[in-house]
Amino acid sequence: MSILYLIRHTEPALRGVFLGSTDPGLSEQGRADAARLLAGLEVAAVYTSPLRRARETASAIPTPQPPVVLPELREMGFGDWEGLTWAEIEAGYPEIAQRKIHAWMAVTPPGGETWQEVAARAAAALAIIRRGPFPAAAVAHMVINSALAQQVNGADPLTFSQKYGEVIRCEL
C-alpha cells in the first residue's frame, strides 16, 4: 500500500482573508511550527504548491530530493475575493455571498475558479504523485487538499477540515 501525507501549509504571515493565489510567506510561528511538526516525517518524495507558504512549509520536511513544485497543487483562485475577509465579501457581494453560503461548491467568486476546475487540477496532481516514490507528502492548501482527499478516500469536501500544519495520512 502506498502512503500519501496531505499536509496543509503552516500559518501564513497574512491571515483572516481569502488568500487563494495571494502569495505571502509564513509567519514566524508558521516557520517554527513547520520545523516542529514536520522534521520527523519520513518520506521518499515531497510535492508542493508553487505558493510561498507551501514551499516554505515543504522545506522543513527532510527528503532525499528537493521538493517537486506542482502548479496543480496551488490553492483555489478566489478571483475578486482574494485578500478580503468574509465580512468584506458579504458587504461588497451580498447576493453572491448569500448564494455561496447555501451552495458553497456550486457558486464561484467573480473571476475565481470553479470547484470543477480545482478538482481537475487535484486529479492531475494525483496522477503525477501516484507514479511514486512512496511514502510521499503533498504540501498544499485547504481547498486543494479537500479535493485530493475526496479523490483518494471519498472525503466530503464540504465537511473536510485541516488545521495549519496538520498531516493527514492516506493510503493510495
Active site residues: 9, 75
d(CA 63, CA 147): 25
- C-beta of residue 131 within 8 angstroms of C-beta of residue 114: no
- C-beta of residue 141 within 8 angstroms of C-beta of residue 165: no
- C-beta of residue 39 within 8 angstroms of C-beta of residue 165: no
d(CA 27, CA 57): 11
- C-beta of residue 74 within 8 angstroms of C-beta of residue 38: no
d(CA 108, CA 116): 10
Can you point out the beta strands (E) in the chain?
Answer: 3-8, 45-48, 68-69, 136-140, 167-171
The kind and range of the H/E element at 51 are none
